[in-house]
Chains A and B, each alone.
Chain A
């Protein structure tokens, strides 16, 4: 349940930036290969935002798909899970997207 720690980092990072201003929206980018579950993060956010200027903020999570490039056949493709395997059979694959774990922006009132 690493999402709790990560959400606390999120809340701290936002508050470091916004101080006492009321935060109305938080935009995240959580890649599908990042190992972090958006639902768990939302759950934790509700708990941790309570009593802070983030309480009630709209948490929006963009979930970019996993992407990879095959060094054997040179094609770029969507990676549905964490096992880096190209449809050509090659495992010589470089993951190029989907591991994002980013606080993109916040909206303050």
Chain B
């Protein structure tokens, strides 16, 4: 448990499918990449190595010589390996996955709900929602008529590749579908964790201030698309769209940018064009507006 921000390990991560009676999220296996091998368990190693000076007095310094083992491996190697596995799984099924990140309240879910409503007949959309607690966002997606799985990270502040894998297992998205992964609202931590997604979409709302790219450079450097949301509020706030664009491009010259209002719909054509281009959308599914029975999870 981190005393700095309250973020913790992910023993408490839960994945809920929302099926049946809307039962409370079912607990899942302890997060094995964090707790495998029972290493957290009661000091079964500590007394071997920690107290060797109090053993037989004459041999107190008979340790084996120190050996250096060169490893030269990335600290994110395990996550990156799992992400590569997710990427292969998704590609093999022709699924385009978009990792949607922003600070809390920037409008991720609102944008996704509107996208489902307006593009649902052209894209077969499914959603994996990440939040510390509650299934409120997944409920909104299901109400909009699409399958959704909620991942509750407990004290965790981001999704990682292992959580996504478990979300995919629970959601089982259809071949050729478009998957949105709504990350935990946070402009810091999710930037470092590859999930195996097709592209990263970062949303910033005009009420947050136009200096966010400078303040949170890692997130904007990682983005493939930056969406400036809540443009309908521009008359009421001091937000310089051009300044924000300049900052983001300075960090990430290749990034694409759009200004939209998910509430009024202004600018959403650009978002839909981007999605259709990047989703490599298959032809319109027959009867796509209505999900067959049993698809909702």
Contact = CB atoms under 8 A, between A and B. Distances in A.
Given A82-B218, A105-B70, A13 B78 contact: yes
Given A12-B36, A82-B221, A102 B68 contact: no
Contacts of B34: 5, 8, 12
A4 B7 contact: yes
Nearest to A30: B75
B49 interface: yes
B193 interface: yes
A30 to B, nearest CB: 8
A51 B39 contact: yes
Contacts, number: 149
Is chain A's interface secondary structure helix, strand, loop, or mixed overall? Answer: mixed
Contacts of B8: 4
Contacts of A53: 45, 48-49
A33 to B, nearest CB: 9
Interface residues of A, number: 49
B70 to A, nearest CB: 5
A85 B43 CA distance: 50
Contacts of B283: none
Interface of B: 1-10, 33-34, 36-37, 39-46, 48-50, 52, 63-64, 66-79, 156-158, 160, 188-189, 191-193, 214, 217-218, 221, 249-251, 253
Interface of A: 1-6, 8-15, 17-18, 20, 22, 24-25, 28, 35-36, 40, 43-44, 47, 50-53, 55-56, 81-85, 91-92, 101-109
